[in-house]
A and B are shown apart, each in its own frame.
Chain A
Amino acid sequence: MQQGSDIRRTGVYRLSGNVGDLQLELKLRHISEWLPVPKFEYVGAKSANEHGDHYPGSEESFWQDCLIHVPRDDDSFGGIHRLGYYCSYYNVGIGYRENSGNIVRRRRSPLAQERQQEREEEEEEEEEQQQGVEAIEYVESQSNPSWSIGGSDSNRPSGGDPFYERNRELCNGAIATIRIAWQQKLFSQSELERHKVDPGSCASKLQRRYHNWALETLELQQRYLRKLEKQQEEETDEDPDAEPIRVRRRIRKSKRRQKNSTALVPFVGNGLSSANMSDVSMLDDPNFAARTCLIHTLVDGDAEEMLPDEAGELHRKGYQLMYIYADLQEDTLLISIRYDPEQGLLYVYPDFSTCAKDLDYVVQIERENDCRQLYAYGFENATPLVAFDEGNLPEKEEETEDGESEEDLPDDASALEILDYYQRRRAEASERRTLLQFEMPPKRTKRVSLLLELKEAQYFENPNIHVRYYLKPPANTIYEAVSGEDPLQGATATCRNAGDWRIANLGHCWQVTILCEEQHQPGELLHLYFEVISIDSWQRERCEGYAHYAISLTSALPAESIRLQCIRPLGNWLDALNRYFIGGRKLFDFETYFDVHQQPEMHSRLDLNPKMAMVTTGSLLLRLQKLQQRQMDTTSQLHFQLDLGNDTNDSDSDEEEGKSSSKTESYRATTLDEVMSAFVEARERIELLLGAS
């Protein structure tokens, strides 16, 4: 792998089928570790004496912390194991056993390694003879080797590293492989801890489902532990007098297992990790990533707070999101996927690898002690996707349209054929109709959609006018933007030779959609400001007038077109001369001027000075239409209240009584569900907050 190949770009794909079928295969492995920059500190004569027993008079003891980068050819590790390039850091010194907390790695040639192993074995044999009873404990320490790939056994930390404890296979060079479906939830360790607790009876469906999945993961972990224990027991039964530690023997055992194993992810030994396999064989559990919670996902069902900051905005735009993380010493975002259901487009960042085995992407984790871990990952799609090509799409659509139009009824069709033809057309029509679901406003909100049309303008001082408009929505409302448009402000086209005594046909339509609270006050108005500007042949702009219209979002609007009278500041004679000869627009804060709740300083409406007078100019013809959309749940609650009232008054027939009682029960159930879901949401937030603190 070349570091230069880690060019991340977003892949855009058009889904050929259902997005639910999307699956991707992810592979992750640990490549190497960079140690802290060696610090040449005086450690005193004592430290040299400590190791003098083992390496008397050795020159290497002076260089034990120094790392030298030795680049190697890709071929030396085989073609696909070119990852080894990054592992070629070489420690001149030899690690010492007492320094178990310090992660020191060294890299040697295979031959040298073999010699070193033999020497170590001899030393170990001698030591074991001396230690006797302590052998079992030593086995334990050997079973927690450092997850440095090429390090000696003696350099490994004790079992205190929780990350190593959880991810032994990954740390020993195995490739974590996992297949993830669209919106599939995989737990992180903290999520697992949270969801394994029984949520009780007042839990949402999602929470119960998460709890069940958490239990399944725990069961997987326990099963693995049992298997491990059983394996250890078998080994001790087989040869109780055997030496507990034989690294070479374990490698052979691994190889034997590899032959017999039907694992999906065969361990491929390379120059990096084969020399130092731990006693926890990765071949026992090829799908360890699912068990160890190494890979976890955040999906649309998760709380908004857990998702990245951009998620809220993307959700509002209608995207479906999925984030895939790896729990490497810190939570690392590997892949972010978003799906646009309207366009049917899938955005994948970074883009899919050609093959997951390529491990195209590199993740570098830096810890506080300057120790850096390097991981590589790759992922490929397991579903057929077609690359999105803008140029080809319309042609395809046209082809399908042509295909449909070609399927006309022949002239000499029989009665049965005619019946079939129309039946098929009806079926197609009903199919098209059932493709969509009506978009509802969010809970406790109301959607107000305004259809505005600026039709005409007339009686202004100068021709060649255009109108600029600005919308100011009331407070506590959310403006729903359409992509690529900004209807909160805009301008009409310039009408040449019109706008004075001649009518300027503006013909400008736009739509504004706003979300407001269900209990929106009618007094909170949407303000619409217009500024009419003329441009003469010398490109001089002049203000021809201002107009304002306030719209109540809740009350009805006039059905007919509205004629808005425009005004502009009169100014003194100098202003008039300036306007005629020089042109330009005078600074006028029309927004504040039209606001009845404010008293502007520049142009006060209550100023009696004739110099501050306003003069009427032309008029604009505006047509307004309004649509409102409410949440149906709220209206059903209203019905529920009405039904409760009606039950006592009129109950003429048994059928009506039955209907109303069933309705009441269903409404009550809905209300209870809402209360319960709100409670669960609140509890999850509190748990998150407590977890964060």
Chain B
Amino acid sequence: MADFHIIGQIIKAVHFAEPHLYCKWSLQSGNAWRLVQGEVKGESHVAAHRLQNCADFVQTLDIHLSAGSVQGWPRLLVEVYAIDVLKQSWPVGYGFLHIPSTPGTHRMDISTWKVAPNGLWQSLRELFGGGGAALSKNDIIYSGVERYKLQTLSSGKVIVELNLIFRKFDEYGVEFK
């Protein structure tokens, strides 16, 4: 079994239109991967910035996985939510990325999108009443041939920094290049 350590943090979300944001994240991997220690999902605090258009999450990741195959390489899924004064929250950004396949430090940005309002009524509701459409099932984000039927709007970016430690992969003939 090869060991896979992910140590890092979800730093911040930038270029989002909404001021108050928080982030839910989860790590997904194939069936041949097991969690040894740590948490594979979490949620950040609500963040806002007084001067810039960004929200600092500083959400720490410390995950130890054991790998049984190169298939099902882990990927980080983030969901950015906006919250208003009435404590209503709705998703404003879905995004995910593959965890890099080379050890060391990586600073990456995840481009996110949100579900586009379906019709004028929903647009008005989103504009004045708050709230937006959400995905009923998260697996739509990363699967399906007919995905083009899903109407999305480009959203902001989430910046993450990861330090990766790979152990014993060379014993199983795995090369990263």
Contacts and interface: CB of A to CB of B under 8 A. Distances in A.
Interface of A: 342-343, 429, 432-441, 447, 449, 451, 453, 455-456, 466, 468, 480, 482, 484-486, 489-498, 502-511, 513, 533, 535, 556-557, 559, 625-632, 635
B148 A513 contact: no
A432 B36 contact: yes
Nearest to B71: A513
Contact of B70 (A449, A484, A510): A449
A498 B32 CA distance: 38
B82 interface: no
B88 interface: no
B172 A503 contact: no
20 contacts: A429-B37, A439-B69, A451-B98, A468-B148, A482-B72, A490-B145, A491-B147, A496-B116, A496-B151, A505-B111, A505-B112, A507-B112, A510-B142, A513-B71, A625-B98, A625-B100, A627-B175, A628-B177, A629-B173, A630-B175
A345 to B, nearest CB: 12
Contact of B96 (A435, A441, A507): A507
A455 B111 contact: yes
Contacts of B143: 484-485
Given A436-B34, A509-B98, A509-B142, A632 B73 contact: no
A626 to B, nearest CB: 7
A556 B176 CA distance: 9
Interface string B68-84: 11111101000000000
A434 B1 contact: yes
Nearest to B67: A438
Given A511-B71, A513-B71, A628-B175, A495 B152 contact: yes
Given A509-B97, A511-B73, A489 B145 contact: yes
Contacts of A490: 144-145, 147
B101 A436 contact: no
B149 A629 contact: no
B173 A632 contact: yes
Q: Which 8 A-B pairs have the closest CB atoms?
A: A436-B68, A505-B111, A439-B69, A630-B173, A466-B148, A505-B154, A493-B150, A451-B98
B153 to A, nearest CB: 6
Contacts of B66: 432-433, 436
Interface residues of B, number: 55
A443 to B, nearest CB: 12
Contacts of A503: 154
B35 interface: yes
A433 B36 contact: yes
A69 to B, nearest CB: 55
A201 B130 CA distance: 80
Interface of B: 1-3, 30-32, 34-37, 64, 66-73, 75, 94-98, 100-102, 110-113, 116, 142-155, 157, 171-177
Nearest to B76: A509
Contact of B1 (A436, A502, A557): A436
Given A509-B96, A509-B142, A493 B113 contact: yes
Given A497-B154, A509-B97, 10 more contacts: A438-B1, A440-B173, A449-B71, A466-B147, A507-B95, A507-B113, A626-B101, A627-B70, A628-B177, A629-B174
Contacts, number: 157
A628 B174 contact: yes
B114 to A, nearest CB: 10
Nearest to A486: B145
**Which of B2, B37, B71 is the most central at the interface, judged by chain A CB atoms within 10 Å of its CB?**
B71
Nearest to A556: B177
B153 A491 contact: no
Nearest to A457: B154
Contact of B150 (A484, A494, A631, A635): A494
A535 B101 CA distance: 35
A546 B168 CA distance: 41
B142 A433 contact: no
Contact of A439 (B32, B148, B154, B177): B32
Contacts of B97: 453, 507, 509
Nearest to B139: A484
**Which of A456, A510, A629 is the most central at the interface, judged by chain B CB atoms within 10 Å of its CB?**
A629
Given A507-B112, A507-B113, A629 B172 contact: yes
Given A437-B68, A438-B68, A489-B145, A494 B151 contact: yes
A497 B153 contact: yes
Contact of A492 (B3, B35, B148): B148
B148 A493 contact: yes
Contacts of A626: 101, 177
Given A484-B143, A630-B173, A506 B98 contact: no
Given A436-B34, A440-B172, A511-B98, A506 B147 contact: no
**Which of A429, A492, A507 is the most central at the interface, judged by chain B CB atoms within 10 Å of its CB?**
A507
Contacts of A495: 113, 152-154
A629 B70 CA distance: 8
A481 to B, nearest CB: 10
A10 B151 CA distance: 40
Nearest to B77: A509
A456 B111 contact: yes
B147 A482 contact: no
A632 B112 contact: no
A437 B66 CA distance: 10
B57 to A, nearest CB: 18
Contacts of A627: 70, 73, 101, 174-176
